[in-house]
Structure 1
Amino acid sequence: MDPVTDPTEVRKARQKSFFLRPAVAMMNRLTYPRKFFLISLFFLAPLALVMAFLLQELGERIDFTVKETQGTRYLHPMVDLFLEAGEARRLSRIVQRGEGTLRPQLVRKLSDIDSAIAAVDVVDRELGERLESTAKLNALKTNWTHLKKETFDPDHTRVDTLYGDFLGEIRGLYSHVGDKSNLILDPDLDTYYLMDAILLKLHEGQSLLM
């Protein structure tokens, strides 16, 4: 059967004509400048939508990167604090075993921890609200004040337990900042594994050495 006289094809053509008729009528009533404007709008609308999504994604990526940078700044003095506390625990164990000659070195190490905490405090005053870290840091400082007074207590086991708890608090704050700053969620594999090594493996390795 000729497609032109096929009833099905004729019906489809009529349906298309029915739906297009209002649009054609409207276009016929418009002047040429308005027609060009309407056609331009038809093509520009999807482009504007794509641009809006692109700008939103760029904004999210920028915010993600800013938070990562802030987390890195916060964790830098935290690494120093963790290493100083681990060394203080090691010296404490030696002094508690009777090596009194290392007592002055342990005293200096306690002072180094004070300085390391002060460095973290400086960064926290700037970034603590966004990273929600101030409360945890304040608890850590309170426990350090207590541990510092108890470092030379003759109860060796209790002192060592206090040091272990203090190191655990540092690790907890470290992980908290890593989570809040998106460092542990880094989508780039090379950076992710670097952060994994710093946030997790460094602490695990030092714990084994102690």
Structure 2
Amino acid sequence: MTVPASRVRRRPRTPGRLLPLLLATVLLLPVAFLVIQGHRFVDADRDALEREQLGVEYLRALGPVTEALVNAQSAAVTRRPLPRETLDRAVEQAAAVDARIGDELRTSERWAGIRAKLEALPERSLTDPEAAFAAYGEVTDLLLALYSKVRQTSGLIRDPDVDSYFLQDGVGEEMPEALIAAGRLTDLAILIERRSAADQGRSLMELATLRFAALQPARDLVNNLRAVVESSANAQLGASVLNPFDAYQRAVETMALLALPNQSGRVDTARLTGARNQAQQAAKQLQPVLLDEIDRLLADRIDRLDRDALLVLGAGGLAALLLIVLAVSGWLPRPQDDSTVADQSSVEAEPVGSDRPTGDRWEPATLRPASDQTPALQPAGPGREPDRWRPFDAAR
């Protein structure tokens, strides 16, 4: 006879099941914080690089303005026809760029002042070469200040990359300074020939100052470009820069020699003007190449930042997924083993009086009434074994 055992209900271990969930939630907070901070830093670096790209675009627009302005100054000093169409076209292109990105770079006010002076130049410069030289000098000073403003507000001047820094320093500071100073040097040498003998001494001192002002940034530009070309892993940069770079270097060295007065105190203005034109032509070829290289370097760094952002998001998502799996696995009920199920389920009572093995011994059966008791052993007759040994005898 089987006796149903009472079911024992176990209390759900709610605190134990909540522990993995709480632990996963606590760990999710710092993981989310790290992911957000890492993504924020990547976004900040990317915004800075995109701002530098705006600065490169603005410098690209100022290049034609600088060249046209230097040529217009020389035309006004030598009383030649003013190439106004070239200057107007360069000014309009730069104005379009300033209208689009000037507010972000905070250059609109400076550009408006330069454009106002440029529009007033013909009335002031066509009558007197000396006045033209002074008027163009004011505009070119403002233009150099605009170059510096663009480099500062765009962040180019603070670029941490060595190649990018030297390239932007050369194309955004040294090259325009050298071009403008070379134009002033040539024009002053022409003006000195028309000045009186009493002004010769002062004019020669001014010429020596302009000679240093033209040669120093040109030499710095040459040194920076040589360092970048030699250290750059991009062979295309070296090949594209080599020819105009050599031409510019030779023209600068020629200008340095021709700007020195001879024994009679005069300067060969024709040859000096030719050397200036060669240097200007080489710089015109160099500028887009250098700006393109800066753009390429910035674009490569932006691509690396995009990959870093994906890695940050991927790592954060994987960590969050693992923590969620941990929380869910801790919250779901765990399968119980057979012994536990047997303990919690019905227990079959053993028949009363049955023999239960304990180790290697047999416990005697529980005494029952005679009417219900089945003899476990048959009386053994002479020569007979008990009935319980018969199967073993049969097997032998």
> Normalising TM by the smaller chain, what interval?
0.7 to 0.9
Q: Give 2:191's aligned residue.
A: none
Q: Tell me whether 1:30 sits opposite 2:35 in the alignment.
A: no
**Which residue, out of 144, 153, 156, partners 2:127?**
153
Q: Give 1:189's aligned residue.
A: 162
What SS class does the counterpart of residue 153 from structure 1 fall into?
coil
**Which residue, out of 174, 198, 202, partners 1:201?**
174
Contact 2:156 2:165 (C-alpha < 8 Å) held by counterparts: yes
**Which residue, out of 93, 96, 103, partners 2:77?**
93
Q: Give 2:137's aligned residue.
A: 164
Q: How does 1:62-73 map to 2 (within 5 A)?
A: 62-73=46-57
Matches of 1:48 and 1:142 in 2, distance apart?
A: 53
- What RMSD over aligned residues (CA atoms) do the two structures have, in Å? 1.7
What SS class does the counterpart of residue 57 from structure 1 fall into?
helix
Query: TM-score, with normalisation over the residues of structure 2?
Result: 0.41
Letter in 2 for 1:53: Q
Matches of 1:124 and 1:143 in 2, distance apart?
A: 16
Matches of 1:62 and 1:182 in 2, distance apart?
A: 12
Q: Give 2:117's aligned residue.
A: 143
Q: How does 1:1-150 map to 2 (within 5 A)?
A: 30-32=15-17, 34-95=18-79, 103-104=80-81, 107=82, 109-150=83-124
Instruction: With a CA cutoff of 8 Å and minimum separation of 6, indicate the structure with the bigger relative contact order.
Output: 2
Cα distance, 1:66 vs. partner? 1.6
Please say which of residues 145-154 and 71-80 is displaced more in the overlay.
145-154
Deviations 1:43-81 (A, max 9, x none): 332222211210110111121012111111122110110
Matches of 1:55 and 1:200 in 2, distance apart?
A: 34
Matches of 1:141 and 1:113 in 2, distance apart?
A: 11
Identity %: 21
Q: Give 1:12's aligned residue.
A: none
Deviations 1:163-207 (A, max 9, x none): 111111111112111111111111211101100101211123223
Matches of 2:180 and 2:99 in 1, distance apart?
A: 29
Contact 2:52 2:154 (C-alpha < 8 Å) held by counterparts: yes
Cα distance, 1:29 vs. partner? 6.7
Letter in 2 for 1:161: A
Contact 2:124 2:131 (C-alpha < 8 Å) held by counterparts: no
Letter in 2 for 1:57: F
Letter in 2 for 1:30: P
Deviations 1:106-140 (A, max 9, x none): x2x22211111100111111112111111111111
What SS class does the counterpart of residue 201 from structure 1 fall into?
helix
Higher share in helix? 1
Letter in 2 for 1:36: P
Query: TM-score, with normalisation over the residues of structure 1?
Result: 0.76
